[in-house]
Structure formats: C-alpha cells, structure tokens
Amino acid sequence: MTPQNKIFAAPLGLLMTAVVLGSGPVQAAALESGKEYMAVTNYPNNVHVLDLDSDTLIKSCQLPDAFGPGTLQMAPDKHTAYILNNHYEDIYGVDLDSCELVFHAKMSQAPNERTKTLFSFAVSPDGKELYAVQNPTELHRDHYRVQPPRLAVYDTAAGLDAKPVRTFEAPRQVTVMQTGADGSLYMVGPDVYKMNVETGEREVAIPSRNWQRPNYTPPDVLSVWPIQTATRDFTFMYTTARFQDETQNLETADWLWGYMNINLDTGETETRDFGPITEVYFTGTRSPKDPNLMFGVLNRLTKYDVEKQELIQAAELDHSYYCIAINGAGDKVYLAGTFNDVAIYDADSLEKIGNIELPGGDMAITSSQIFVR
Amino acid sequence: MLKRRRLPHALSLLSVAMLAASVNAQAQGDAETVMAQTCAACHSSDKEGQYTRIDNQRKTPEGWLMTIARMQVMHGLKISDEDRRTVVKYLADRQGLAPDETEGSRYALERRLNTLETFDSQQFTETCARCHSGARVELQRRPAEEWEHLVHFHLGQWPSLEYQALSRDRDWLPLALNEMVPELAAQLPLETDAWTKWQLADKPQPAGQWRLAGHMPGRGSMSGVMSVEAQGKDVYSLNFEGRYADGTPINGKGQAIVYTGYEWRGDLEIDGTPMRQVFALAGGRLEGRMFETLHDEVGFDISGARIDSGEQALLALQPSFLKSGESAELTLVGTGLGGQPDFGDGVEVEEVLASSATEMRVRVKVADGASGVREVRIGDSDTQSLSLYDRIDSVRVVPDYSVSRIGGNGSSTPKVYGLFDAEAWSAGADGETGTADDYRIGVVPATWRVEPFDERAAEDEDVRFAGTMDAATGRFTPGAAGPNPERRMSTNNAGNLKVIAEVADGERTLSGSGQMIVTVQRWNNPPIP
C-alpha cells in the first residue's frame, strides 16, 4: 500500500471534501475544452487519460483501495470520472484535471453488510445524482442472508463519505445502466427497465427475457460495459435463435447477433438483429458516422452491415480486447480491456493505426470512455 | 440424481495431502476442546455442546476438510494443521456418510477428474453442477434449512453467480430457494436409515494383510500385498510390496487413517513417489484408487481383499484376454486361491506353474476358434471376465474424451498429463463392429500420436504447441503455462487434439481415436472438485 493510500484510508468517514491522490509518472494540467479524450482504468490503481488527437497518454491518476472492476462513467460535464472499484464495493469520483478524489460512496450501508454493485451505476443528466443498483448480503456470525437489491441515489456533491439520499427496491440481475435526457434511469436486467428516480416506479423499456418475437428464443444478454457514445446511444448486444417456422426446430434455426438500443436523448428504443453468430463478442457499438455499421470485438474486430445483416469486414488482433469505443468523428476504433495497451484501428479500412501503452497492468474488464471536454 | 458429466472445475485451497495420515488420531475430548476454542467463536453452542450449522450437516472427510479450510480462507479462522486434522477426524466419524450414501459419487473422492457427470435432474445440473461437480453436493447431507443457508452463502460469496449463463436466463434466487432446496432436502436429507444403521454396524477390520490388484492407464496391471498394522485408534502403518505384470517391482511404505469406520486414506511413498490411497473398506474387501499425490491423474484403479478373511476372492486375471489357438501364461490374483480354476469351454489348463493362496500362475491352451467372454471363478469366488478372441476388430481409445492441462513454467500448478489405454474389441459372432454383440478384449500395446482435432486446431498448430505424446506409453505431456508469443494472438498452449492409437494384430494394423482438450490450469483445486 502506498503512503497516499494509507492517508486516504484513515479519513474515510471524516468530513473531508477532497483528497489529492498521487498521480502517476505522467502529469499534465487541466484537460482542454473541445478536445477529445479517452479515460480508462487498469491495475493496480490507475485511471489514465489519453489525448485522441495525438493518440498519446497525457495523464495517469491513482485510485485508492483495490482494483476491480474499474468500470468508468464520465459525468455529463466531462470533468469527473466515476469509477466502480475496490472489488465492486465502492464508487469513486475523480476530477480528471487535478486527479483529486471528489466523491466516494461505499456500497455497504451497515457494518454487517457486504454489498457489491455489478457494473450497475450511472450519473444523472445534470450530473447532480449518481445511481447504483446494490446487491447486499447480510453477514451474520454463522450464516449469510442475501438481501433484495436496492437502487441507491447519491448526491454527487456529498464528498468522500456519501450516503444515499433515497433508496428504492430494484430488480435482481441488473448490470449496466444509463440515464436519459429526461432523467429516466435505464437499467439492463431480465428486461430493460426505465425507472423514475424520484418515485422508484419502473416500466419495461425493452422486453428482453420476456420479449414476444414470434419464433425467436429469448435473447441472451450479458453486458458489463456501459459504453457512453457520441450519439447518445446506449447499445448492448444479444444473441438469439430464430426458428424457421412454428415447429421451432433448433436444428434449422438461424443463430443471430443483435443489439438493443436506447437513444438517451429521445428515449427511442430498438431491438435489431445484425448478423449471424460466427464468433463471440464482448462489446459492440455502432458508427457515429453511419448507424448502419455495427462493430464487434473480442478475438477479432469486425464490422457488420446492419441492414443486410452481413459481416462485411474483419481484422485480426494481436490479442483479445474486450471493450470497444469509437471517436466522435467515427474514423477511429479504440480497443481496450485485457493487457495494458489500447489498440487503434481505422474505422473504414480496419487497418491498425497503432497502440497506446499504459503504465501499470491489465485493464481486465474496464470500460473505456471517449468524451469531448 | 447422479451421473457423469465432465467436471469443469476449479480448485486449490489445500492439497488433498492435508488429510495426511502423519499424526495419531486424537481422542474425542481433544476435538471437543479444539471446537470449543475455535468453532464456538461463531457457532453458538448450548450446554450440551451443540453447535449451530455444524451439527446439522454430514459429509466426507474431504468435505469437512473443505469446510474448515473455507472458514480459514474466507472467515478468518485460525487453527493449526494438527487441530484441523483432529476436528476433521472427529466430525467425519460423528457426522459422516454411510458407505451406501457415497455410492455413485466416489469418483470425486478418488480424484477421477475426467469423469463426465450426468444427472436426471436438469435443475440440479444447472444449479449446482454448473460450477462444481455434482458429486460435491451429493457427498453431503443436510436438512432444508441448511441447504437454504448454502444457497445464501453461494450468492453472498459469489454475487456474479446469478449473472452467469444458465442463471441470467431465469430468476435464479427464487428458483434456488423454492425449488432446489426442497429437492436437495428430499434427496440428500440429514437423517437417513443408512446412516443410522451404519453407526450401529460392525466396522471392517483394517489391520492385517491385504491382497491388492491394480491397473494404471499407460502402465498396465500390477498386484501386491499390503501389510497393515494398527498404530493407534484408526491409524495404521502400511507396507506394500508388489510387481507389475511385466515383473517390475513396485514397493512402498506409508500410513493411513480410517474415517467413519470405512473411509481409508493412505499416504505412501511408492518407489520414491508420494502417492495417496482413497479406498472404501467393505467387510474383507476394498475398492478405490491409488494415485500420485502431485499428479492425481496418474493412478491405479485398485481392488483388494483381506488375505486372512477366509474368503475366496478373485481380484484380477493378468492378462484378461487370450488369443484362440495359442498357449499362454495367465496369473490369477486373489485370496483363498487353490484347486483347479475353471475357465470354461475351449480353455484347457496345460500346467499349473505356481500356486499359493494369493496367486496362481497357469499355462493354458485356448482352442482354435474359441471366442467370447468367459466368467472365471475359483471355488466360491466372485468372477473375473476372460476374453477369448481370434482377431481384433476395432480399437478404442480410453478415455475417448478427456482433459489435460498446461502447467509449470513458473505457474502455481503442475502440468496435468493425459493418460490413455488402447482397448481391443471383437466384433462378436456377427462379425460386424458396432453391434450389440461386440465385446471388449482388453488393453493392448499401441503406438500413440496426436493430430489436430479439427481445422481450427490445424490452423492454430495445436499439435506443435499443446504438448508431446509418448508414442510408446500413450502419456501426453502438455505444454508450458502462460501466454506464448510464438502463437497467434500470443495465446497459451491450449489445444484440441485427436489422440490416435495404432494397434498391430498380426499383419494388420488397426487404429482408434479419442479427443483430448488441452486446456488451462485448474486454479481452484480443492479435495472434492
């Protein structure tokens, strides 16, 4: 443990408003307005900022406590990066200009509670609130008791000992979340829900496990990368099988990739198949230039024509990458997750442009986010 | 509920060797003292010394060991190895499983990690056996309340569990609590007649001399005598002297503890290699496996009988197959042997070469055209199959589907070898292979090689990277662990291989094949997978 961490660990719970975290070998001033950046986390305790004009690392801030999963969400003002870490038990807010820790919320609300958040947090469109679906377990002396999940609402100005200002009952098995321009909270769970964060009421925004698409199997959805896009599309993929007819014969069914999408500005939703399953992807996203182009990544970087439901291009990779992101212009694809290099590909040709090496270790299942200050 | 599917798993708290028989079992009083000093900190105990949770479960010695190890790893229990052994022994004796209750699940205790489990209950398969062996569950007995605690423990400890495939497609927690718990409580209850009866039953006597017969894939058959002497309550010293069918000696010494009146756990050094015995004693017989402590994939299937039991036991015929029209030597391994063995029609005993109560060596002549399977017995003994054949019609690789693992290279786990036998089969009377009258001839020498299992394996050069096959023994040694920069995408030395055995039968050469997945290390490797 570094000295900074020790200093940090002790005052949690005291009324500190900000703690300057140690910064890494690379140090820089405030981010520049109008410029495009990527924020990404990696082991052992880093959040890095990359300049996407020069495709260079410009800053590394250090995070307190243990790493994992490192899921990152940018605040709407693009100043604060919120990071789920410490073995899924804490959310931290880091000011990317100063590397200061400006927010900290421990997911557990009681001494005998151990609470994990499984990628499920989001920030309100005005940046004033942070939402987390928390999965608590009561730790009794000789047994555990799993508790119902809850949606905890935090005031992002609450500092380093933030407590929920409201809590609501939440569904089990929720992963990624985003907020719409109208303040609604979208949560991906057994179905995709739209929640009113004032009342806790929710409705189904996109049926998933319970979709009623004739002659389709229920989709399989596992998204743990809440990718924030330039087009304000909240996109996550599914796999499914489409039967030839009512006999529902799996032997002759078409196995398909598809995506579900919520446009966070308009609230418009979409469920759409985009191609046959020929390989596995961890993440996918559409081109901001041409929404008919869908990209997927794990062991290859691929591109689909959504309309034609065809794989149109594929690039071999140096190693697996988990998390995809595309710059606002839609001309560069950035691949993060696993190892400690971000790979850059030309979005049109899928030719490799280069790599950005990150100090530190594995990015693991981090979510990289591209944003314009 | 059970049976066979590939064990995915994952392990590694503590090696099996923790059940080591290196100390004397201690008195019940010691165990109770240790429990009062350790367990009682969290498990409240009433005046009669009843502990919450602990008193409501029964399991195998390995099961209790895993429980206590989990308390150490996850809940901060401090306990010395010696005290832990004392408590494991006490709990396994007091709250173990009856022999009948372990039937069908012993493969897990015996570390047969290539077992393919299948279960009648789809719910059980998907809820429990999805992540660890179903045997691990079936080797426990609990009331409903305790199974319910187990569900809460699982989801509380591994919160991502309900997000995984075969969980995220359903309301996992309500199903586990409302459907799985009642099923487990009905199938695997705390209180059973079997356990009540076993507690009252006369227990097998381990001390004395045991005749053992064994077979190891890739190495062949062996037999020997294990002399067992009592050293303390349920603790024994043992001395094994034997030889392989090819005459090579195999000798060793060690110690064993008997748990629950029948669960024999031995630790030996056999010709310089540490080995472990997991046997079930039943009257004057024992069954189980003896395997290398550090490579549990390398081991013998063992059956044994007490020499002084007065029982006639025929444990093995070595070899267990003979070619028609030929004379051959045959060894019968057992106890209480004597007189003339009867091999049935077509097999004539030409000469008894040697005869003792534990081994009989005979030269037999098999008549021209004699074929089929004979059930051989001596006196009152049980039977052993003897296959007669005139030609080999097909060859099978056993196991036909298996897993080996990369390792070493500075990683925390050793390589897991692939071991194979080539089984010769006859087409039977109809002369057609693949029909119901095919019969197994036996394990025959073969020349071994591996090939890519499919196009992808060929493209990725799995044969080059995944390891090497010993052509003579059929032992496959996987490649080194870790990313390999020479491979596409720097992937590790995993592979998908076809294992091919070529067998000569006179002028003809036959071959058979199986599939072996060479995969990554088993990081989590507890005593019960």
Q: How do residues A306-315 score in pLDDT, each as one tens digit?
A: 999 999 999 9
Give, in order, the Cα–Cα distances in Å from B513 to each of A69, A345, B447, B499. Answer: 43, 43, 12, 5
Chain B CB contacts of A317 under 8 Å are 489
Phi, psi of B414 (to 5 degrees): -75, 165
pLDDT value at A21 more than 70: no
Nearby residues of B37 by Cβ (< 8 Å), 6 or more positions away: none
CB contact under 8 A, A137 and B156: yes
pLDDT value at A7 more than 90: no
Mutate which of B45, B168, B456 to test chain A, going by most A C-beta atoms within 10 A?
B168
Mutate which of B152, B161, B166 to test chain A, going by most A C-beta atoms within 10 A?
B152
Work out whether strand B359-366 and strand B327-335 pair parallel, antiparallel, or are unpaired: antiparallel
Mutate which of A146, A174, A279 to test chain B, going by most B C-beta atoms within 10 A?
A146
Chain B CB contacts of A116 under 8 Å are 159
Q: Residues B197, B98: contact at Cβ < 8 Å?
A: yes
Mutate which of A133, A137, A143 to test chain B, going by most B C-beta atoms within 10 A?
A143
Pairs of residues, one from chain A and one from chain B, whose beta carbons lie less than 8 Å apart:
67
Task: Dihedral sign for Cα B312, B318, B324, B328, please.
Answer: negative
What was the pLDDT predicted at B6? Answer: 39
Give the residue from A181, A203, A179, A180 showing the smallest Cα distance to A192: A203
DSSP A17-86: --EEPPB-S----PPPTT-EEEEEEETTTEEEEEETTTTEEEEEEE-SS-----EEEE-TTSSEEEEEET
Intervals of chain B under pLDDT 50: 1-26
Dist. CA A259–CA A271, nearest whole Å: 6
What was the pLDDT predicted at B47? Answer: 62
Q: What is the mean pLDDT of residues A12-17?
A: 35
Dist. CA B224–CA B243, nearest whole Å: 6
Kindly state the tokens that stand for B177: 């609590």
Query: B311 vs A370, which has greater pLDDT?
Result: A370
What was the pLDDT predicted at A229? Answer: 97
Helix (H) or strand (E) holding B455: helix B455-459
CB contact under 8 A, A318 and B153: no
Give the residue from A79, A175, A78 showing the smallest Cα distance to A121: A175
Interface of B with A in 467-486 (CB under 8 A): 483
Which residue matches tokens 């997978």?
B529
What was the pLDDT predicted at B45? Answer: 72
| Chain A residues bordering chain B (beta-carbon distance below 8 Å) | 88, 114, 116, 118, 135, 137, 139, 141-146, 172-173, 175, 190, 209, 218, 220-222, 299, 316-320
| Cis upstream peptide for A291 (omega within 30°) | no
| Residue A2 burial (CB count, 10 A) | 13
Tally of residues, chain A: 373
Kindly state the tokens that stand for B173: 């927690």
What was the pLDDT predicted at B17? Answer: 40
Residues A139-198: pLDDT tens digits? 999 999 999 999 999 999 999 999 999 999 999 999 999 999 999 999 999 999 999 999
Kindly state the tokens that stand for B123: 């719910």
What was the pLDDT predicted at A6? Answer: 33
Chain B CB contacts of A319 under 8 Å are 483, 489-491
Kindly state the tokens that stand for B144: 């409903």
Q: What is the mean pLDDT of residues A207-213?
A: 97
Tally of residues, chain B: 529
What was the pLDDT predicted at B25? Answer: 45
Dist. CA B433–CA B424, nearest whole Å: 12
> Would you call B172 an interface residue with chain A, using a CB distance cutoff of 8 Å?
yes
Dist. CA A239–CA A257, nearest whole Å: 5
Helix (H) or strand (E) holding A186: strand A185-188
- Give this complex's ipTM: 0.91
Residues forming a β-bridge with A303: A295, A313
What was the pLDDT predicted at B151? Answer: 98
> Would you call B487 an interface residue with chain A, using a CB distance cutoff of 8 Å?
no
Chain A CB contacts of B163 under 8 Å are 118, 173, 175, 222
> Would you call B76 an interface residue with chain A, using a CB distance cutoff of 8 Å?
no
Nearby residues of B40 by Cβ (< 8 Å), 6 or more positions away: B51
For residue A257, how far is the Cα from the chain centroid? Answer: 20
Residues forming a β-bridge with B508: B505
Domains of chain B: residue spans and CATH: 4-196 (no CATH), 208-309 (2.40.128.120), 313-389 (2.60.40.10), 394-519 (2.60.40.10)
Dist. CA B128–CA B151, nearest whole Å: 10
Q: What is the mean pLDDT of residues A122-134?
A: 98
Task: Give me the long-range contacts of A45-52 (CB less than 8 A, separation at least 24).
Answer: A45/A5, A45/A360, A46/A358, A46/A359, A46/A360, A47/A72, A47/A81, A47/A83, A47/A94, A47/A96, A48/A24, A48/A358, A48/A359, A49/A96, A50/A342, A50/A356, A52/A327, A52/A332, A52/A334, A52/A370
CB contact under 8 A, B490 and A319: yes
What was the pLDDT predicted at B27? Answer: 54
CB contact under 8 A, B156 and A175: no
Give, in order, the Cα–Cα distances in Å from A245 to each of A216, A220, A242. Answer: 10, 20, 9
Which chain B residue has the Cα nearest residue A119? B160
